[in-house]
Amino acid sequence: MNNKVVLIGCGNVGMSYAYALLNQRTSVNELCLIDININKIEGEVMDLNHCLAFGPSKINIKVGSYDDCKDAAIVVICAGASQNVGETRMDLINKNSAIFKKIVSDVMDNGFNGIFLVATNPLDVMTYLTWKYSGLKANQIIGSGTILDTARLRYLIGNKLNISPKNIHAYVIGEHGDSEFVPWSNAYVGIQPIKKIISEDRLNNICDDVKNAAYKIIEKKGSTYYGIGMCLVRITNAILSDENCIITVSAYDKDNKIFIGYPAIINRKGIVSRVKLDLNSNEMNQYNNSVMVIKKAISNINE
Ligand code: NAD
């Protein structure tokens, strides 16, 4: 089985992904790095290769070219501008959509027919554009969506209750951005509904902390990258190991014809389906608001 990954965009996020990949057991057997800064990736490839003596998996790491996409299982895109202090993810839209038009067409011109995994912001818009520019089926396009926000949520709740985040079954859904929210009616600690354990006020404070996490980190250290690096590895391994596991990613919403954060089943084919959530009317309104935000952003792109 060909488990080749092409990584496009080797800045903080791309390299955190690559480094996290080397530190875990993975079935990725080839990792090709592409960036407009050739000098940087030559250095990155040397540095990563020097990890292999102590890493858990055998991976062929090299400077890549778009030709590598023809037989790649996954193309991961982390290229583009990132948020500056005070900027929202949506502020990046025109810069990054122009970059994506060129990248996705270069990938497709080389006969790619695997899974796209997108991390660039504004995430749900870039995921939609990848689908549109590639012409691939919607199941072959996965955005990291609210996986990172969900990881932050699980950490914060677990930390408050002194319970492993692995046993917090709660998801952030909607736009990976300011309109995201937590459907608390679907949230559990182990098998107990979370609303029986934590008051509504405290839950809302936790949700605000999740939403503001990226802004806080950017204010303190300039950008966020380790968390998303781990999240992208989680999705990569779920695809290549044909896991059929449930992860909140940016997946196609057939009714609204956009990509948006939602729990979805992931395997070697990409997204199998979204998981059905029973949202109450308040949660449904919040979901529709996120849909509206993403649709509006897409309609405002200067092409
Ligand atoms: P960065 O500036 O460190 O890296 C961006 C890289 O993209 C650079 O190396 C640059 O040379 C490269 N690049 C630019 N144009 C390119 C092109 N046409 N082809 C190939 N490479 C190109 O930025 P970063 O901190 O790594 O962030 C990357 C993106 O990830 C941003 O949009 C950021 O907002 C986003 N991000 C997403 C999440 C998430 O949860 N999805 C989390 C953090 C950051």
pLDDT at position 302 is: 74
What residues flank ligand 1, with Cβ below 6 Å?
8-14, 34-37, 78-83, 92, 96, 99, 102-103, 119-121, 123, 144, 148, 176, 223-225, 228
What band does 94 get if pLDDT is binned at 50, 70 and 90? confident
For residue 143, what are the β-bridge partners?
Answer: 118, 250
- Residue identifier of the C-alpha nearest atom 3 of ligand 1: 11
Question: Which residue has the CA at smallest separation from atom 7 of ligand 1?
Answer: 79
Cα 150 to ligand 1 centroid, rounded to whole Å: 21
Cα→Cα distances 259→40, 102, 116, 125, Å: 32, 20, 13, 7
CA 104 to centroid of ligand 1, rounded, Å? 15
pLDDT, tens digit, 9 for 90 and up, residues 7-61: 999 999 999 999 999 999 999 999 999 999 999 999 999 999 999 999 998 999 9
Say how many Å lie between the CA of residue 272 and the centre of ligand 1. 27
Name the β-bridge partners of 169: 188
For residue 260, pLDDT over 70 is answered with yes
Which residue's entry shows tokens 């122009």?
Answer: 98
Question: How confident is the model at residue 244, as a pLDDT?
Answer: 98
What local confidence, expressed as pLDDT, does residue 88 receive?
83
Q: State the closest ligand 1 atom to the C-alpha of 227, by its place in the atom list counted from 1.
A: 42
- pLDDT average, residue stretch 212-240: 96
Which of 77, 78, 107 has most ligand 1 atoms within 8 Å of CB, for mutation? 78
Catalytic residue among 89, 152, 154, 176: 176
Atom of ligand 1 nearest to the CA of 144: 41
Does the structure show a pLDDT above 80 at 303?
A: no
The model's confidence at residue 196, banded by pLDDT at 50, 70 and 90, is: very high
Local confidence band at 1 (pLDDT 50, 70, 90 cut-offs): low
- DSSP symbols for 94-128: HHHHHHHHHHHHHHHTTT--SEEEE-PSSHHHHHH
Which pLDDT score is estimated for 64? 98
> Is 176 designated active site?
yes
User: Above 90 in pLDDT, residue 92?
Assistant: no
Please state the rounded mean pLDDT for residues 141-152: 98
Pocket test for ligand 1, best of 68, 82, 247 (most atoms within 8 A of CB): 82
225 CA distance to ligand 1 middle (Å): 10
Closest CA to 173 of 245, 253, 227, 75: 253
Helices (H), 184-247: 200-221, 226-240
Q: Which residue has the higher pLDDT, 220 or 303?
A: 220
pLDDT computed for residue 87 by the predictor: 83
Protein residue closest via CA to atom 42 of ligand 1: 228
In terms of pLDDT, which residue wins out, 210 or 92?
Answer: 210
Nearest residue (by CA) to ligand 1, atom 29, is 120
Distance, in Å, from the CA atom of 177 to the CA atom of 293, rounded to the nearest integer, reads 10
Q: Choose between 301 and 168: higher pLDDT.
A: 168
Would you state the pLDDT for residue 68?
A: 98
Measured by CA distance, the residue closest to atom 13 of ligand 1 is: 79
Within 10 Å of residue 281's Cβ, how many Cβ atoms?
7
Average pLDDT of the residues in 106-124: 97
Question: Of all atoms in ligand 1, which is nearest to the CA of residue 231?
Answer: 40
Q: Is the dihedral of CA 284, 290, 291, 296 positive or negative?
A: positive
* Helices (H), ranges, 10-122: 12-22, 38-49, 93-108
CA of 166 to the centre of ligand 1 (A): 28
| List of residues 6+ apart from 72 with CB closer than 8 A | 2, 4, 5, 6, 32, 112, 114
CA 231 to centroid of ligand 1, rounded, Å: 15
pLDDT of 71 strictly over 90: yes
Residue 298 CA to residue 126 CA, distance in Å, equals 9
Q: Kindly provide the b/e burial profile for residues 166-186, where b requires at least 16 CB atoms within 10 angstroms of the residue's own CB.
A: eebbbbbbbbbbebbbbbbeb
What is the rounded distance in angstroms from the CA atom of residue 36 to the CA atom of residue 118? 18
pLDDT of residue 168: 97
Please report the pLDDT score of residue 301 as a whole number.
86
List Cβ neighbours of 193 (8 Å cut-off, separation of 6 or more).
Answer: 187
Please state, rounded to an integer, the average pLDDT across all residues of the chain.
Answer: 96
Which residues make Cβ contacts (< 8 Å) with residue 134, sequence separation at least 6? 104, 107, 108, 112, 116, 140, 141
pTM of the model: 0.97
Report yes or no: 251 and 274 within 8 Å, Cβ to Cβ. Answer: yes
With a pLDDT cut of 90, the percent of the chain lying above it is 93
Give dist(CA 130, CA 253) in Å, integer.
15
SS3 of residue 82 by DSSP: coil
Nearest of 129, 102, 103 to residue 250 by alpha carbon: 129
Residue 303 or residue 139, greater confidence: 139
Burial-class residue 98 by CB neighbours within 10 Å (0-12, 13-18, 19+). middle
Which of these, 239, 64, 210, lies nearest to 149 by C-alpha position? 210
